[in-house]
Amino acid sequence: MSDWSDDAARDLMSLGGRLAMLTRGEGSWVWDADENRYLDFLGGIAVNCLGHAHPVFVDAVSRQAATLSHVSNYFASPAQLEIAARLKRLAGTGEQGRVYLANSGAEANETAIKLSRLHGARFAETEGSARTTILVVEGAFHGRTMGTLSLTPKAAYRDPFQPAVPDVVTVERSVESLEAAFASHAVAAMIVEPIQGEAGVVELPAGFLARARELATENDALLILDEVQTGSGRTGEWFAFQREGITPDAVTVAKSIGAGFPLGALITFGAASDLFYPGTHNSTFGGNPLASAVANAVLGHIESAHLLENVTARGAQLRDAVTSLPLVDAMSGAGLLIGIHLTAPVAADVRAAAHERGLIVNAPTADVIRIAPAYTIGDEEVDEFVSRFSAALAAVAETLQAQNATTPTEASA
């Protein structure tokens, strides 16, 4: 068999290194082409909430594929109607809520941008022009499409593709900056992640989201929450905003909603549900019967198996176990979206050391390791994680200690 890395270099776009050729998975374990086994504590970046090859997932795909996998958006399907009603119930929208089904988090957030434009257009008659300003928070990540990239204030991601969508204003992570932005701009919407996963599992300051809700209401702007990473139970609640005791005007979800099957959604509340009208948006594959059926099965199993309780319990167990390990400085996140903050900018080294020891994690920033394992993990997986992660940390700590012990004279020589 040819070297898979040669094949990848020859046939795939050069968009980033690939660590291994994974060929199969079961539960929280995956195997590569050489039959090396890895404990997956990244979960496809917060996607594989039921692990790999879960019977509920496999059965849902098989059953629906045998009946109806795709119809155009000229038609509805039972699975589509069921997932829309389920998402309204889980989000607590009430009867007035509505759901748009897409194929990814980026698509759901693109839809949110268009929602903000429709809302802003309502002010043209009373204010003389439409409101177009969208507020985002420093460190935000909302996607890689041109629209969502414009909401992502990271120069390395955005600058190669300038000019971006205009009228996006970045707010610092403080209530004072939030208040100043609303005071100085005619805001159409604010789009914000309750926990910023790609920034290093960064939590917003206490009271930030509550104040954003107040200011959006006072200024007749939309508050749109990007829960692509935090939604579908990842934090121990169905949505992270439910932990804050607020109600947004819209929320986007993806990742864990389909446990590995591509699906995204925009869920609206109240008057925001009336902004879209026929012709303003749609998707060929959005809400197809196969994706909808899988999401229904996944979310239904999370409910019936009470997995949100396990998310909360295992998250606390992992935090307790990791806090005292070498190089660990602090913890952030909620449920099973956890940021492990290190005492030195060696996250890439820790990730590599973990990989060598059969553990999959990632390093979103120089000093943070992110884990987002399956909701189904138990004592065995937690113990294995702690053992392998401890070994990875110890190896990096030993290297750091050796480097620090080198005298300036020795280093110059």
Question: ∠ CA 69-145-87 to the nearest 5 degrees?
Answer: 45
The sign one gets for the Cα dihedral 388, 392, 398, 404 is negative
Contact 158, 145 (CB under 8 A): no
Single out the residue of 402, 316, 327, 321 nearest to residue 369, CA to CA: 327
Q: Where are the beta strands (DSSP E) in 152-208?
A: 168-171, 187-192, 195-196, 202-203
Query: At 325, which helix (H) or strand (E)?
Result: none
Instruction: Look up tokens 């980033």; give the residue.
Output: 16
* Catalytic status, residue 226: yes
SS3 375: coil
* Residue 258: count of CB within 10 angstroms of its CB: 30
Check 40, 41, 57, 141 and give the catalytic one.
Answer: 141
* Catalytic status, residue 367: no
* Catalytic status, residue 383: no
SS3 199: coil
Single out the residue of 280, 222, 278, 279 nearest to residue 251, CA to CA: 222
Check 226, 249, 349, 367 and give the catalytic one.
Answer: 226
In angstroms, rounded to a whole number, what is the distance separating the alpha carbons of residues 371 and 368?
A: 10
Contact 316, 291 (CB under 8 A): no
Contact 299, 257 (CB under 8 A): yes
Contact 279, 66 (CB under 8 A): no
CB proximity list for 185: less than 8 A, separation 6 or greater: 133, 135, 169
* Residue 26: count of CB within 10 angstroms of its CB: 12
Half-sphere exposure of 170 (CA within 13 A, CB side): 13
Check 41, 88, 241, 255 and give the catalytic one.
Answer: 255
In angstroms, rounded to a whole number, what is the distance separating the alpha carbons of residues 178 and 174?
A: 6
Q: Which residues are identified as catalytic?
A: 141, 226, 255
